[in-house]
Amino acid sequence: MEELTLTPKDKQDARIALLKYYSSECVAHGAYLIALAVGFFGLVQVASLITSVDFLSFTELAGGIIANLMLSIFIVLIIYILGRTFFWGYLRTVVLNVKPKEESEVEFEAKRTTVTFIQRLHVACFEYVREKHKWSTKINTLKISTLALIWFYLFVAFTIVSLALLYLL
């Protein structure tokens, strides 16, 4: 029913609004990547201080664990934000050409939600990217608990490797 009242200009305005939103998300995630890169280079600068100096009576082992902790956090965050940046970039390229979903194809949890044209267009974009670029969608939809578990496994792996290298060499 809504289709009868929408003009081509309204549809074009909805695409433009979504394009601006997706573009702003790309810019924001690009800024996050730059901030992480600056933080990583800062970590590299102080890594020798953390691992070699007895800072607050830390031994070499404790310094190595702290370095592994920071490195694993940076790796997980960089992969996560890079995946999200690609996801928003894919959405940005799709929004210009995708056909909006029909009202009956869009489901929302809230029963009183009105399905608008821009929502149908967003759902169509999201489903297209989910089918075409599965890896970026999986990264974008990760729960915090899963991300924390990945970080923990990475931290444990780094710590085991560094302990092995410390005692073998």
pLDDT in tens, 31-90: 999 998 898 888 778 766 665 555 555 566 666 777 778 788 888 888 888 888 888 888
Pick from 36, 21, 99: nearest CA to 73:
36
Is 1 inside any structural domain?
no
Is 2 inside any structural domain?
no
Q: Which domain holds residue 82?
A: 8-168
Residue 132 to residue 89: CA distance in whole angstroms: 13
Q: And the tokens for 73?
A: 């956090």
Q: pTM here?
A: 0.74
Is 3 inside any structural domain?
no
pLDDT in tens, 119-148: 889 888 888 888 888 777 777 777 888 888
Residue 86 to residue 107: CA distance in whole angstroms: 26
